[in-house]
Structure 1
Amino acid sequence: MPATAGHSKPVGSMELGDHLCLFFDSEAERRSVMATYVRDGVRAGHKVIYISDAVPGRDVAAWLGSRADAGPDTVRPQEDDGFDFAAALDAGHFVVRTAEETFLASGRFDPDESLELMATEIDLALVQGYPGVRIAGEARFSLRRWPGTERHGDFERMLDQVFMTTDLKAMAICQFDRRWFDEARLAELEAGHMGRVRADDHYDDGALRITPTFAPPGAALAGVLDAATSPAAEKVLASVASTAGLLCLDLGGLTRCDEAGLRLLADADLPGLGANRGLLLRGAAPELAGRLRESGLLARSGVAVVERTG
């Protein structure tokens, strides 16, 4: 079912009818979400329309398929499976437009004209036989003081109303860089969307969820880490840990951790990866933090535990 207000939805679970916002802190996070969105769309037979701004239009396919944003501490995104974005672009299933040609066709940004243009693009794709359309737009253009861009918030609210009241065979993600938009502006823009989108979870069995984090690189654990969930968690964490020199595990969402879970966390630093290895366990409840210290984990070089506050 479509997303609801205040909800954060994994990008791989998006459905036709969703109009979501992506608030990101790093290019690695944005690329992870957008690569999954485009890849899944092409594989589902959808027409994918990407409106670029921060990334030059000619470079979008290469950016999605590369790890150019990845430093030595970057966790490799799950979607790095060899998907050929350039081939999808050449085949016409994936189309890139610039923000300027999309939103300034008349010389100024006009919400009504922009909505009409999107409707035309969607209708054309459906006529071409695509069962659905995926739209992704970079929103940094709205900060450039182009004529009419002061109405960008109006445009998002109008677009959201169309998605909520019309049985659209389309979905959309609007991208907002937290480093450029202040919190008040982000709150206003979020109100013009059904909810937020995030990177797909590494793992979720209903008892334990492991979600990728990007700033810093690592994973967030939520739920129960015990004898039942530890075997699956061990496989996930080994895969995540092997791609990053410095790894952060956010434990703030853990509600219970038994001895099996404690042993898993105590071994999460993988010292065999070398001297540059580092592990930060943050957000641990005081009781869990005490047990981690008692395990002798902190005696190892490069390991730190930060307790949850409040």
Structure 2
Amino acid sequence: MDELRPGDHACLTYSDAEERLDIVAAFVRDGLGAGERVICFTDPGDPPDLAGELAERDVKPATGGQLAIRDNDAAWLSGGRVSATNMIEMLSSELEAAHRDGFAGLRVTADMCWATRPVAAVDELLVFETRVAGLFAGGRLTAVCQYDRQSFDQVTLAFAAKAHPRAVAAAVYHEDPLLRICRQHAPPGVRLAGEIDYRRVPELNQALAEALRLGGDIHVNLTHLRFMDAAAAAAVGQAALSLQPGRAMAIVCGRAVRKVLALVGVTDQPAVRVRLAHGRP
């Protein structure tokens, strides 16, 4: 995401819904900050309140029509069918409107799962991704197309990766069946999911060290962490101790993980703020 530039057409393949929302939020926030018009095409009810999810990830409310959230079905499947030509014409019209209204450019992110609908032909998706390239030539359109790995077959995912000049993803420091450690884009920090013990402390330290170098407060998202041992909790505490004055560490976690953090003294540090994740044990 940090390397995405105006005129880029990027592909985001995801399997983690939270990670996807982080990346989308970073994409939207950067566009609003650059004075671009931003349109998010999303599936109805996924998530049910995209605006709220963006707000939780430090995306400030936009005025003057700068940010629009639109239903995929209404946009792509109007009249019960979809065509690549109509989709490209619609984006071209939006690009002209953004220019006419004085925006620096147009930034679009779209959940492409509309192509899996019974009334949609995946062939039209392939045509769209091939022909839409011409709209990016002027450097005024930037887009991220989102592909859920659980919704698309491997052939379509491979085509999507090839059709897009760029790809965006969270930096992953470790991933195996038990644990995933990755960078959190918005708010900036680190996300852990699964179970972590002393054997993965080096990977955790690497993730925390990079978050420290970013500046500002650090957000450690442990919402989906089921187990943490004392060694891993101590690593989080050491990172908090290294914060410069004025910086803070915000941790969100379940009750079981909070108990371990408390046992090693992390929750007692003045620079640490701990919030219990809603609905987590």
Choose from 184, 201, 224 the match for 2:155: 184
User: For the Cα contact (< 8 Å) 1:57–1:96, is it kept in 2?
Assistant: no
Measured in 1, the distance between the counterparts of 2:232 and 2:50 equals: 38
**Equivalent residues in 2 for 1:263-274, closer than 5 Å:** 267-268=234-235, 273-274=258-259
What are the Cα deviations for residues 107-163 of structure 1, in whole angstroms up to 9, with x where unaligned?
Answer: 421111110110010011011111111001011111012144432111111113543
Identity of aligned residues (%): 25
When residues 177 and 199 of structure 1 are mapped into structure 2, their CA distance, relative to the original with a 3 A threshold, is same
SS of match in other structure, 1:45: coil
Contact kept? 2:111, 2:147, Cα under 8 Å: yes
C-alpha spacing 1:14/1:201, structure 2 compared with 1 (3 Å): farther
Matched position secondary structure for 1:146? coil
1:53 paired with 2:24, answer: no
Give the total of aligned pairs.
219
What's 1:97 paired with?
Answer: 70
**Residues 242, 127 of structure 1: CA spacing in aligned structure 2 closer, same or farther, 3 A cutoff?**
closer
CA deviations over 1:46-69 (Å, ceiling 9, x no partner)? 000111115469732113223xxx
Per the alignment, do residues 218 and 161 of structure 1 end up closer, same or farther by CA in structure 2, a change over 3 Å counting?
A: farther
**Equivalent position of 2:272 in the other structure:** none
Q: Secondary structure in 2 aligned to 1:13?
A: coil
Runs of 4+ residues over 6 Å off in structure 1: none
Q: Counterpart of 1:110?
A: 83
Give the equivalent residue in structure 2 for 1:42: 32
- Alignment partner for residue 216 of structure 1, among 193, 200, 220? 193
Are 1:42 and 1:93, in contact at CA under 8 Å, matched by a contact in 2?
A: yes
Shift of 1:91: 3.2
Question: Contact conserved, 1:245 with 1:276, CA < 8 A, in 2?
Answer: no
d(CA) in 2 for partners of 1:108 and 1:170?
Answer: 25
Provide, for residues 27-58 of structure 1, a one-character-per-residue CA deviation record: whole Å limited to 9, x for no partner. Answer: 11011001111111111110001111154697
Identify if the C-alpha distance between structure 1 residues 37 and 197 changes in structure 2 by more than 3 Å, giving closer, same or farther.
same
Moved more, 32-41 or 232-241: 232-241
What CA distance in whole angstroms lies between the structure 2 residues aligned with 1:30 and 1:266?
26
Q: Look up the match of 1:282.
A: none
| Aligned position for 2:98 | 125
- In 2 relative to 1, CA 269–152 (structure 1 residues): closer, same or farther, beyond 3 Å? same
- Matched residue SS, 2:40: strand
Q: Do the aligned residues in 2 keep the contact of 1:25 with 1:215 (CA within 8 Å)?
A: no
SS of equivalent residue, structure 1 residue 216? strand
* Alpha-carbon distance change, 26 to 97 in structure 1, aligned in 2, over 3 angstroms: same
User: Structure 1 stretches of 5 or more lacking a match?
Assistant: 1-10, 67-79, 203-209, 220-224, 249-263, 278-310
Secondary structure of residue in 1 paired with 2:127 = helix
Report the 3-state secondary structure (helix = DSSP H, G, I; strand = E; otherwise coil) of the residue aligned with 2:144.
Answer: strand
User: Structure 2: which amino acid aligns with 1:174?
Assistant: C
Q: Which residue identity lines up with residue 29 of structure 2 in the other structure?
A: R
Contact 2:115 2:125 in 1 (8 A): yes
Higher relative contact order (CA 8 A, sep 6+): 1
In structure 2, relative to structure 1, the CA distance for the partners of 1:217 and 1:61 (3 Å cut) is: farther
TM-aligned CA distance change 1:104 to 1:180, over 3 Å: closer
User: By how many angstroms is 1:231 displaced?
Assistant: 9.7
Change (3 A) 1:153 1:217: farther
Give the alignment's Cα RMSD to 1 decimal. Answer: 4.0
Write the distance in 1 (CA, Å) between the matches of 2:131 and 2:101.
Answer: 26
Partner residue in 2 for 1:13: 3
